Amino acid sequence: MVKQEKEFVNRPDNTAFTQQRLPAWQPMLSAGIIIPGFVLIGLAFIGIGVALFVTSQSIQVLEVDYTGVEQSSPCFKCSDPDVKNCVCKMEFNIDSLFKGPVFFYYGLSNYFQNYRGYGVSKDPNQLSGDLDSFKVPSDSCAPYEYVGKTPIVPCGSVANSMFNDSFKLYQIVSGAKIQVTLDGKGIAWWTDYNVKYRNPSVTPLKNAFNGTVKPTFWSKPAYELDPTDPANNGFINQDFLVWMRRAALPNFRKLYRRITEGDYAKGLPAGNYSLEIAYNYPVLSFDGRKKNEFLGIAYLVIGSMCVVMSIVMLIVYAKFKFPEEE
- Structural domain of residue 296, as residue ranges? 33-61+291-325
Question: Does 217 lie in the same domain as 264?
Answer: yes
Domain annotation covers residue 45 = yes
Percentage above 90 pLDDT, the chain: 50
> Is residue 22 a part of any domain in this protein?
no
* 103 and 41 belong to one structural domain: no
Q: 62 to each of 45, 55, 316, how far by Cα in Å?
A: 29, 16, 50
Task: Tell me the per-residue pLDDT of 1-45, one tens digit each, with 9 for 90 and over.
Answer: 555 555 566 777 788 777 777 887 777 777 777 888 888 888 888
- pLDDT (average), residues 109-128: 92
Coil, helix or strand at residue 67: coil
Within its chain, how far is the Cα of 216 from the centroid?
24
Q: Looking at residues 118-131, what average pLDDT do you find?
A: 94
**Do residues 178 and 37 both lie within one domain?**
no
| Shared-domain flag, residues 109 and 96 | yes
pLDDT tens digits for 203-224?
999 999 999 999 999 999 999 9
* pLDDT value at 159 more than 80: yes
Numbers of helices and strands, H then E, in the chain: 9, 12
Q: What is the rounded radius of gyration, in angstroms, for the C-alpha atoms of the chain?
A: 29
Say if residue 289's pLDDT is above 70.
no
Judge whether 11 lies within some domain. Answer: no
276 & 295 share domain: no
* 203 plus 296 within the same structural domain: no
Residues 39 and 167 occupy one common structural domain: no
The pLDDT score that the predictor gives to residue 324 is 53
The reply to whether 160 falls in a domain is yes
Distance (Å, rounded) from C-alpha 229 to C-alpha 226?
6
Same domain, 128 and 48: no
Structural domain count, the chain: 2
Please give the pLDDT value at position 284.
Answer: 46
Is residue 17 domain-resident? no
Same domain, 50 and 116: no
> Do 57 and 70 sit in the same domain of this protein?
no
| Residue 23, in any domain of the structure | no
Could you tell me which residue, 95 or 309, shows the higher pLDDT? 95
Answer whether residue 114 shows pLDDT above 60: yes
Structural domain includes residue 6? no
At a CB cut-off of 8 Å and minimum separation 6, what does 190 contact?
Answer: none
Q: Is 3 a member of any domain?
A: no
- Residue 221 has φ and ψ, to the nearest 5°, of -70, 170
Query: pTM for this one?
Result: 0.75
In angstroms, the CA 157 to CA 113 distance is 10
Same-domain status, 83 and 109: yes
Same domain, 152 and 184: yes
